[in-house]
Structure 1
């Protein structure tokens, strides 16, 4: 039996670990399950069709070779019974945590009996900001690896349960408290962040969309490309990539204009921020987050809960 299978959160980290000669075999998780409809069983034809259709409709440049990019790596994880241990490399953000939940649920469904460890980045001693694994120095990365956390049966159950709830049609069941007493340090924050992806009952914009307007108002941002950079840096627990942020900017483009070389909010956008003007109806479009339609629920800012729209 082989000793270690590493499951990494992307090719960049994977290549770096190989360069560092961290022993073991590798599988790369090349999916973004935090966006679009998801289905619990990753091996089902329904899951594959759903995800391929999602990429074709939203990120056509990323739609090709799905089986090679993701299916081939999932097949490696499916054979994890050949390994004594699995080490998961995922970061503190929502993007990584949804992928991590799906991965753990899949491993659990295969009846894996070995140890499952987690290497998760986030807070660094003496630093204010949260750090991705790719941002760590080699010494820090090795330290994280040496301090990897053994996930117990309770952790595995929680991850599987939350993945199933995420894929379900009722996001009201997703409660940050479900992550209590687990070894997932950032999971409750990610569940809270997920809930804030639904539109605010007050304005019809979600947290990230509102934050975009605030950034445009606060900073001297000259181009949508520069706005993307600000959004990437000031997104908190979401962990979105540039292709997701660029898509969001395009969808929000009616709320700002270029005046003398600076992005400037429209009157309507200022009314959203200053007078709680509601744009729910005009923002509404077909969008699924896991198993729930984004515009079938609204986020209540006063109690941080979701309710039916």
Structure 2
């Protein structure tokens, strides 16, 4: 007997929570981080997965076996579940989840055309200043979110796929003009996530992007006795990205030349100069193999004044 609902979730914590609350249906956990590394539009293809493994292996030392067990087996389970009446997507507000979400919807558009697809995403909870992740909601709150899930129209699916195509293109310039102009979109968090994405290209001021500048600023304004304390502070304050400790450790490692020590955490003189925009670090960071979606990270600069991207022509 086929299940009436297939839940595709943003991570193991949401899957485990929904299962503990006795939600009925089948579950697929989308274990990817499409917001980092090279992506291509053809989600699920051999080329797509090769690009993903190459990135995860080089940046996060993920072994082939772990990639197969952790990500590909779950993807193959998704491919095999074709008879479900409704597919429910569970994705949070942050950059990490929103990029995964549009990648999944692009796949659904291609391989599950005409299926009933709905979306559960986190909204403002009364009495709380910050958006809570789905796995942080109480049982009553999550049941209410599920009850109020948004049915995605064909136009909604087309729109999410269109944004995915732009995200995977060689230039993010069209993305910066398009993402703000769909006020009727059910994807209420997508514009903020894409705004954060565009600020991940290096700043024209010092060659560091918004997140990298935030790491330096956080290290400079607090007294941390270890790198772990720095990471924990970033986890607490940088909720726009939805990154975990592995991502922050990776980004800190890329900036290691701007620190004299991590026990305790101390910026070098060069680090302080970069932070104060007295020194541009672009040349030392530039790496032709680093991608954000389909675009090379160091082929574009973010102008903080105009909030526009500039393409570097060689």
Q: Same fold (TM over 0.5)?
A: yes
Give the corresponding residue for 2:271: 269
- Segment of structure 1 superposing worse, 68-77 or 108-117: 68-77
Give the corresponding residue for 1:227: 230
Deviation at 1:38, TM superposition (A): 0.9
Alignment of 1:64 with 2:65, yes or no, is: yes
Give the corresponding residue for 1:150: 151
Separation in structure 2 between the aligned mates of residue 276 and residue 173 of structure 1, nearest angstrom = 31
Selected match of 2:246 from 243, 247, 254: 243
Deviation at 1:48, TM superposition (A): 1.7
Give the corresponding residue for 1:215: 218
Aligned-residue RMSD, C-alpha? 1.8
Deviations 1:278-301 (CA, angstroms, capped at 9, x unpaired):
111011123111111100001111
Deviation at 1:84, TM superposition (A): 1.3
Give the secondary-structure state (helix, strand or coil) at the position aligned to 2:164: helix
Separation in structure 2 between the aligned mates of residue 90 and residue 120 of structure 1, nearest angstrom = 5
Contact 1:169–1:292 (Cα < 8 Å) also in 2: yes
Deviation at 1:122, TM superposition (A): 4.5
Where do 1:46-125 residues align within 5 Å?
A: 46-61=47-62, 63-79=64-80, 81-125=82-126
Alignment of 1:191 with 2:185, yes or no, is: no
Selected match of 1:303 from 302, 306, 311: 306
Deviations 1:245-301 (CA, angstroms, capped at 9, x unpaired):
101111112222349x64222222222233442111011123111111100001111
Selected match of 1:284 from 266, 283, 286: 286
Structure 1 residues 179 and 188: alpha-carbon distance in aligned structure 2, compared to 1, 3 A threshold = farther
Contact 1:199–1:206 (Cα < 8 Å) also in 2: yes
- Segment of structure 1 superposing worse, 64-73 or 223-232: 64-73
Normalised to the residue count of structure 1, the TM-score between the two structures is 0.94
Normalised to the residue count of structure 2, the TM-score between the two structures is 0.92
Deviation at 1:67, TM superposition (A): 3.3
Deviation at 1:54, TM superposition (A): 1.3
Deviations 1:134-185 (CA, angstroms, capped at 9, x unpaired):
2222222222112211112221111101111111101111132254320011
Give the corresponding residue for 1:11: 12
Deviations 1:114-147 (CA, angstroms, capped at 9, x unpaired):
3211111143222112221122222222221122
Separation in structure 2 between the aligned mates of residue 178 and residue 71 of structure 1, nearest angstrom = 35
Count of aligned pairs: 308
Alignment of 1:132 with 2:133, yes or no, is: yes
For structure 2, the residue ranges without an aligned partner over 5 or more in a row are none
For structure 1, the residue ranges without an aligned partner over 5 or more in a row are none
Alignment of 1:177 with 2:194, yes or no, is: no
Separation in structure 2 between the aligned mates of residue 112 and residue 80 of structure 1, nearest angstrom = 14
Separation in structure 1 between the aligned mates of residue 310 and residue 33 of structure 2, nearest angstrom = 26
Give the secondary-structure state (helix, strand or coil) at the position aligned to 2:130: coil
Separation in structure 1 between the aligned mates of residue 277 and residue 55 of structure 2, nearest angstrom = 35
